[in-house]
Amino acid sequence: MPHDLQFTKGHGTGNDFVLFHDPDDTHDVTPEQVRLICDRHMGVGADGVIRAVRSAAVADGAASLEEDAAAAWFMDYRNADGSVAEMCGNGVRVFVQYLLDQGLASLGPGETLAIATRAGVKRVSRSADGFQTDMGRWSLAGGEPLVRAKQLPVARPGLGIDVGNPHVVVAVADDAELDAVDLAYIPVLDPEPADGANVEFVVPAEPLARDGVGRIRMRVHERGSGETLSCGTGAVAAALAVRHWAGAAAPDDWRVQVPGGVLGVRMFDADDGEHVMLSGPAVLVYDGVLALG
Ligand SMILES: N[C@@H](CCC[C@H](N)C(=O)O)C(=O)O
């Protein structure tokens, strides 16, 4: 049914989203509507749409409530092409800022807010650069597909990493090669993962670690959204991949420079094994109303 969509535009290091709340799951958007909202000429323009729904109102959210009864809000994330994604690392910080701004949640200093996602419960707290999110466990998954991309002179082996959603990280020769890759074209993976993948192109800094911190430059082609200025889960996958390639001497603290800014990634031991923390800013830019046909 046609209705006015009251939305907020926000971003995390330039990865931009249209956010709205639909507490009782009564105003979901169709894939066509998501494509229109995200269209930078015909709509608002965004890399994705984030709907805030009470966890109890949707099956995916109810699953998270079993994991943590405090995870009252479910982050329903859609890519710009209308497809559904399990998780968005930048999005979850912006989602928390949105919940706070709307008076739907509170988060004092030192407190943690549990957010339901399709990749399980993520715990967010305040940090010096904005918010930090415990992204939980990760795994090497998806093998080592060959990556071909426009203006990449040779096919290079990637590393498949699952951080709740699928990624393939590929190291390129140097900054010039990173700048030259044309991500207006979808990178080709061989073999192609069944559910597709976000593809990160990285250049680790030399020397790898200064002051115990590793530094990486990254560009990304996101599944369902194309090239974006940043990808939080991609930054996590990039740091994990570079540490994997570097071996035992590699640090657990990383700064990942993306076209839209800098994200922090830190690996740490938790009760159930190694977790990864992602930190960065969350900015709300403006509110608006869009007539949805
Ligand atoms: N930009 C996000 C990731 C969004 C989902 C991704 N495109 C997918 O399909 O998995 C981030 O910051 O993590």
Domain segments of the chain: what residues?
A: 3-135+281-292, 139-271
Q: How confident is the model at residue 210 (pLDDT cuts 50, 70, 90)?
A: confident
Is 206 known to sit in a ligand binding site? Answer: no
Q: Is the CB of 158 under 6 A from ligand 1?
A: no
Return the CATH superfamily for domain 139-271: Diaminopimelate Epimerase; Chain A, domain 1 (3.10.310.10)
pLDDT of residue 120: 97
Token pair of 117 as six digits: 């996602």
Residue 2 has pLDDT above 70, yes or no: no
| Residue 2 CB-density burial (10 A; 0-12 exposed, 13-18 middle, 19+ buried) | exposed
| Ligand 1 centroid to residue 87 C-alpha, Å | 6
Beta partners for 16?
11
* Residue 130: its H or E element: strand 130-134
Q: Which of 220, 286, 221, 226 is nearest to 38 (CA)?
A: 226
- Position 1 pLDDT exceeds 80: no
Which atom of ligand 1 approaches the CA of 87 most closely?
Answer: 5
Whether 3-135+281-292 shares its CATH topology with 139-271 is answered yes
Maximum separation of any 2 CA atoms in the chain, in Å: 58
- Region 215-226 average pLDDT: 98
**Cα separation of 223 and 208, whole Å?**
28
59-88: per-residue pLDDT in tens? 999 999 999 999 999 999 999 999 999 999
What number of other Cβ atoms are within 10 A of residue 172's Cβ?
22
- Closest atom of ligand 1 to CA, residue 232: 12
Residue 111 near residue 73 (C-beta atoms within 8 A):
no
User: Does the annotation place 266 within a ligand binding site?
Assistant: no
Among the four given CATH numbers 3.40.50.300, 3.10.310.10, 3.40.50.620, 3.40.50.720, the one describing domain 3-135+281-292? 3.10.310.10
pLDDT at 5 over 70: yes
Contact predicate 17/47, CB 8 Å: yes
Q: Indicate if ligand 1 lies below 6 Å from the C-beta of 133.
A: no
Q: Which residues pair with 209 in a beta bridge?
A: 214
Q: What is the pLDDT confidence band of residue 195, given thresholds at 50, 70 and 90?
A: very high
**227 annotated ligand-binding residue:** no
pLDDT tens readout for residues 240-265: 999 999 998 899 999 999 999 999 99
Supply the residue whose CA is at minimum distance from atom 3 of ligand 1: 88
